[in-house]
Chain A
Amino acid sequence: MTAQPLFTVRSVSKFYGNRIGCEDISFDLWPGEVLAVVGESGSGKTTLLNCLSTRLLPTSGVVSYRMRDGTSRDLYRMSEAERRFLMRTDWGFVHQNPADGLRMTVSAGANVGERLMALGDRHYGQIRATATDWLGRVEIAGDRVDDQPRAFSGGMRQRLQIARNLVTGPRLMFMDEPTGGLDVSVQARLLDLLRGLVQDMGLAAIVVTHDLAVARLLSHRMIVMKEGRVVETGLTDRVLDDPQAPYTQLLVSSILQV
């Protein structure tokens, strides 16, 4: 790990009028590190993720990102053009519902190729070859490259969404409940796949989930949130095996044992 964090969050708060979305969140994320944000629904996980990924303007706080040239930039002091460029090159965002992250009316190949074309790639054959290669890497058969995501199962759509984000070789991924709504065997395969990709590409990721098993499998560190605030942070195994905060203890003991 390098000496400087990739992503620095300082005192980020988001208020919806008088209600708290999230309050006073600070953490660092290092290159290649996967951070899970867990908590029950309504605890501000998604609000936090949106504030970090520039999809929602926080009420206060500083979020900075270390660019490829090594300089650290405050996301909310960048121009919108720079932010959007960052979002579609160096970052990825995986939505819980794949329909939010995919273009449902164009083929899988075009979905994967969109970022390449946005970056100025103008060779159809190469774009298609890259798209087919990426479909293979997320375990979608190459002959589905011209099918629309509408014809895909939930698990395939989610894998397609991941491929679409990874095609530009990003350094940071935001994932909002990446396994939500999938059955357990599909979840397991997706998690396997994600773990492999994260390792191979040296991706850093912030994964929002309410599923502690997902956090356990994917993440190195975790943040436990309740009512918009952080109640506990630490290495994933430590937090799950030896929860300190009463709320984390409740959460861990609520896991169903089969």
Chain B
Amino acid sequence: MNAHAENIAQYNFAYLDEQTKRMIRRAILKAIAIPGYQVPFASREMPMPYGWGTGGVQVTASIIGPDDVLKVIDQGSDDTTNAVSIRAFFQKVAEVAVTTETGKASIIQTRHRIPEEPLKAGQVLVYQVPIPEPLRFLEPRETETRKMHALEEYGLMHVKLYEDIAQHGHIATTYAYPVKVEGRYVMDPSPTPKFDNPKMHMSAALQLFGAGREKRIYAIPPYTRVESLDFEDHPFEVQTFDQPCALCGGAGVYLDEVVLDDAGGRMFVCSDTDYCEKRQAEGHAGPTGSPGEGEVQ
């Protein structure tokens, strides 16, 4: 316990009390032992609303130590509201070092992106998950979805993909694209773009998923097989961009569209701000600010 004799209310290290952390760590260990399985846990009220990453924050609070270096990203960016406030939260309640550099972080809490820079062994990626159940929109009953996971009845997941092709001519699911983990559990990778799905496969880093409102934790241990579901005649594909990042010229990365003016001007820039800044610092440059014709598929 930290015993600062200040006049403000005192929190335990990393906000949660030790018993709660113990409970969450148990859930995390179980999740790691059964890759892709959703472990129920007694999610706590956090000083932020549901939907702002209460699940991810609880997971991070349970695994963070004084020596950790924390990076928080929101849609790939280090400087948007969600990222800034969660980073400030842990600076305040855990007094940990923070960074925006992917390579220097030991824990990366993320909302909807996996950094472009490949993660290393020893790093932990913590996802904020809104709806952990991939089968939810097709089967509303929790009792039934649990049974389907237990009995490995995943035909329904393909019904969704079938429906996509029937309606759009291709698999139109672009985010929260269902994956099968280690050949067993079908898992929702949280609303990350499907562009990031291949990065989960055989990742050197530990990936933890926390859903605060739905009270579930799941995990992908390092070097685990993660396969995106598809059809033989409609194989899984990631989004492609027909032009590089306008700022750093990076290709083969996930781009965000930025509207420049009222006349239809727009540009496409890296969604991962750290990656983009690093490349610019290394002297790479793109056609800055030029209105692009690029299309997000």
Contacts and interface: CB of A to CB of B under 8 A. Distances in A.
Interface of A: 80-81, 84, 103, 106-107, 109-110, 113-115, 117-119, 122-125, 127-128, 145-146
A171 B163 CA distance: 28
Interface in B239-263: none
B151 A122 contact: no
- Residue among A80, A103, A124, A125 with the most chain B CB within 10 A? A124
A110 B159 contact: yes
B233 A106 contact: no
10 contacts: A103-B159, A106-B162, A107-B166, A107-B167, A113-B162, A118-B155, A122-B232, A123-B233, A124-B231, A146-B166
B163 A110 contact: yes
Given A123-B231, A124-B234, A125-B233, A106 B159 contact: yes
Interface residues of B, number: 20
Given A81-B151, A103-B138, A125-B233, A114 B156 contact: yes
A128 B51 CA distance: 38
B165 A124 contact: yes
B153 interface: yes
B44 interface: no
- Closest CB pairs A-B (n = 5): A118-B155, A117-B158, A124-B231, A117-B155, A123-B232
Given A114-B159, A122-B231, A124-B231, A109 B166 contact: yes
B123 to A, nearest CB: 34
A109 B233 CA distance: 17
Nearest to B234: A124
Interface of B: 138, 147, 151, 153-156, 158-160, 162-163, 165-167, 230-234
B163 A106 contact: yes
Contacts of A106: 138, 159-160, 162-163
B158 A115 contact: no
Contacts of A81: 151
Given A124-B234, A125-B233, A117 B159 contact: yes
A115 to B, nearest CB: 7
Contacts of A110: 159, 162-163, 166
Nearest to B162: A110
Contacts of A107: 163, 166-167
Contacts of B156: 114, 117-118
Nearest to A82: B151
Contacts of A119: 155
B166 A128 contact: yes
Given A110-B162, A117-B162, A122-B231, 10 more contacts: A106-B162, A107-B167, A109-B162, A109-B166, A114-B156, A118-B156, A122-B230, A123-B233, A124-B231, A128-B162
A113 B232 contact: no
Contact of A84 (B138, B153, B160, B165): B153
B225 to A, nearest CB: 17
